[in-house]
Amino acid sequence: MIQLKAVSKWYGQLQVLKEIDLQVNEGEVVVLIGASGSGKSTLLRCMNFLEQSDSGEIYLFGEKVDPKESDLNWIRQEVGMVFQHFHLFPHKNVLENIMEAPVYVKKKKKKEAKEMAWKLLCKVGLEDKANVYPGSLSGGQKQRVAIARALAMEPKAMLFDEPTSALDPELVGEVLSVMKELAKEGMTMVIVTHEMGFAREVADQVVFLDEGRIVETGTPEKIFEHPSEERTSQFLSQVL
C-alpha cells in the first residue's frame, strides 16, 4: 500500500532521512518509534507528500508517485493524517468540522456528508456532541473528532503523528481505543507514538528510527523483547 525506497530528505545541510526503505502492506499497522528529532514526523509527512523527499522513490497503492506529475491533493485524500494538535475549525461545530472536506473538497452532497458524519461520530463515541463547538470539548474528544474528520474523506490509509502526546494521561485511552478499533477493522495505519503498550498490542511491525535512519524493524515481540541492535535497547530502556 505504501512503499519507500531509499528515501532521503535534507533540511539545508542537515540530512533528516537517510535512505529509508519501508513497506506498509494493506491492513497493516506500522508503529514508528524513536527519540525526538529522529525524523519520525518528517517520514510521515513524506508519505502523504505534505513534505517532499529529495531522493528515493515512493509508491502508493502500487504506483510510483512523481510529485511533479501526480495529483498530490488526491494523494492527501487517500492517505489521511491526524496530528498531535487537532487543528479543528473553531468556528464550526463538530458535525460541520467532519462534513467540511467531503462537501467542499470531494463535492459530496450535504445530505450524504451529514449521514456519514453521524456514522463516524457514533464510531468515535461522540454522537451526543454533534452540535457543540470544539472549544467546549476535552482534548480526547477533540482528537476523536479529528479522527472522524480524517475518516470522512474515506482514506485508504491513515497516518497518525503522536495523536495522544498533547493529552492529559486520563484521556489517552479513549483515543487509543478508537485507533485499536480502526486497526481491527483492517485500516492500514502508520502511527508515531510513545505509547509502547499500545504498540505492543496493535502493531504488526515496529520501526525504530534513529538520526534519520531505520535501525531496526520487526514484530513488537522482536523489537521489545529481543532487539538486535544496541541502539534499540538503549532507546527502549529510556522509554519503558
Q: Which does 39 bind (CB under 5 to 8 A by kind): ligand ADP, Mg ion, none?
A: ligand ADP
**Chain residue at closest Cβ approach to Mg ion:** 41
> Is 85 one of the binding residues for ligand ADP (CB under 6 A)?
no
Residue 207 gets the label, from left (phi > 0), alpha (psi -120 to 50) or beta, of beta
Residues in 8-37 at the binding interface with ligand ADP, rule: CB under 6 A: 11, 16, 34, 36-37
- In the 8-state DSSP scheme, what is residue 132? S
Identity of the residue numbered 62 = G
From candidates 38, 41, 164, 188, binder to Mg ion by CB under 5 A: 41
Q: How far is the CB of 36 from Mg ion (least distance, A)?
A: 7
Q: How far is the CB of 109 from ligand ADP (least distance, A)?
A: 38
Alpha helices for 7-84 (secondary structure H): 40-47, 72-78
Q: Which does 108 bind (CB under 5 to 8 A by kind): ligand ADP, Mg ion, none?
A: none
Residue with cell 491533493: 73
Measured distance CA(155)–CA(147) in Å, rounded = 11
Q: Which does 48 bind (CB under 5 to 8 A by kind): ligand ADP, Mg ion, none?
A: none
Residue 85 or 106: the one with the smaller Cβ distance to Mg ion is: 85
Whether 133 contacts 93, CB under 8 Å: yes
- Taking CB under 5 A as the binding criterion, the range among 41-49, 97-105, 145-153, 195-203 that sits at the site for Mg ion is 41-49
Q: Which does 11 bind (CB under 5 to 8 A by kind): ligand ADP, Mg ion, none?
A: ligand ADP
> Is 42 one of the binding residues for ligand ADP (CB under 6 A)?
yes
Whether 138 contacts 171, CB under 8 Å: yes
Q: Which grid coordinates are listed for 149?
A: 474528520
Total binding residues toward ligand ADP, as defined by CB under 6 A: 10
- x/- letters, 176..215, toward ligand ADP (CB under 6 A): ----------------------------------------
Residue 39 or 102: the one with the smaller Cβ distance to ligand ADP is: 39
Whether 221 contacts 204, CB under 8 Å: no
Whether 155 contacts 174, CB under 8 Å: no
Q: How far is the CB of 35 from ligand ADP (least distance, A)?
A: 7
Residue with cell 509527512: 45
> Which one, of 101, 184, 84, lies nearest residue 149 by Cα?
101
